[in-house]
Amino acid sequence: MTSPKLMGDHLPLRAITPERQRVRNKIVMYHNYFRSRVEPKASNMLKMKWHRGAARDAQRWANKCEFLVHDSVEGRHVSGYGSCGQNIFIASTKVPWLFAIETWWLEKDAFKFGGKNNMTLVGHYTQMVWATTHEVGCGLSKCYRILYDKNGKEIDGRTRVFYNYICNYCPIGNRPGRTSFPYKLGNPCSSCKKQCSKKLCLNSCDVSNVWGNCRELNRIHPTWLCRNHTPQGKHRHRNCRATCTCGNRIYDF
C-alpha cells in the first residue's frame, strides 16, 4: 500500500475528525466498500451504519491516548449489544481514514478462511468483515507519548506526537472458536435476497445474544427459551434477546 497523497501538515484535522458528518459518512462508506469485496464471497454480509454511542466510546478512548491498548469490556458496552469490538490504528502523522481502514483490510493477505489463523496478524480484518457486525463508531485524537531512555528512565521534556484512530464495532465480532469464519460463504446476498444493496444485506437486528448457544437452546426448547413470564424466563430472554426477537433477520449465534 502506498502512502496517501494528502497527509501530515497538508491534511487539516477537520478533514478527518469524526465529529463532522461528512467524515462519518466516508468511514461508513469505506467499511461497506471493503465488506462487499471479501474473497471468498459472503452470503450474509450486513451493510454497516454509524452508531453514535459506539462513536462516543471510541472518541473517549482515543482521548485517553493509550498507545495500542484496547478499552475495557465495560468501556465498550452499548445497550442492546453488550461489549462491542474495537480496532486501533496509530500514525506518527495525520493520515486519511481510508489509509487506516485499508491497513486493517490488508490483513486479509495473511488470512485463510476456515484455516488456522494468527489473530495478532488478522484480527483487525476479521472484525472489520464480521458479517453480523453492522454498526460502527470511530474517534480520533492527537496524542503525546513520553519518551524513555534505554534504562527505562523518562527523558525530561521529550515527547512524541501520535494520532490515535479508534473504531468500535457492534455487535462484537471475533467470537471465540469462530474467528476463521467471519461470515457465511455463498453468493452475495443469498442469505437476504429481497433485502440487498450492492452485495450487502439490509436485514440486520439491533440486539445481540449474550449466550453462545441460544440457537441450539431454541431448537431444542423453543417455547421454554423465550417465555419471559418468570424471573428465570426473563433472564433467559435477556441473554438470548436476538434469538427471541429477531426472527429471520441476520444475527450472530
Q: Tell me which residue of 141, 137, 157, 140 sits closest to 149, measured CA to CA.
A: 157
pTM of the full predicted structure? Answer: 0.92
Distance, in Å, from the CA atom of 24 to the CA atom of 26, rounded to the nearest integer, reads 5
Domains of the chain: 8-170 (3.40.33.10), 209-245 (no CATH)
**Bigger pLDDT: 31 vs 160:** 31
8 Å CB contact between 219 and 166: no
Q: What is the mean pLDDT of residues 56-72?
A: 98
| pLDDT at residue 9 in the model | 83
* Each residue's pLDDT tens digit, 87-130: 999 999 999 999 999 999 999 999 999 999 999 999 999 999 99
Q: What is the mean pLDDT of residues 192-199?
A: 95
Q: What are phi and psi of 15, to 5 degrees?
A: -75, -15
Question: CA dist 179 to 73, 122, 132, 190, Å?
Answer: 19, 9, 13, 22
Is the backbone of residue 113 left (phi > 0), alpha (psi -120 to 50) or beta?
A: beta
Q: What are the grid coordinates assigned to 119, written together?
A: 489473530
* Each residue's pLDDT tens digit, 2-61: 678 778 888 999 999 999 999 999 999 999 999 999 999 999 999 999 999 999 999 999
Q: Tell me which residue of 58, 79, 95 sits closest to 206, measured CA to CA.
A: 79
| pLDDT at residue 157 in the model | 64
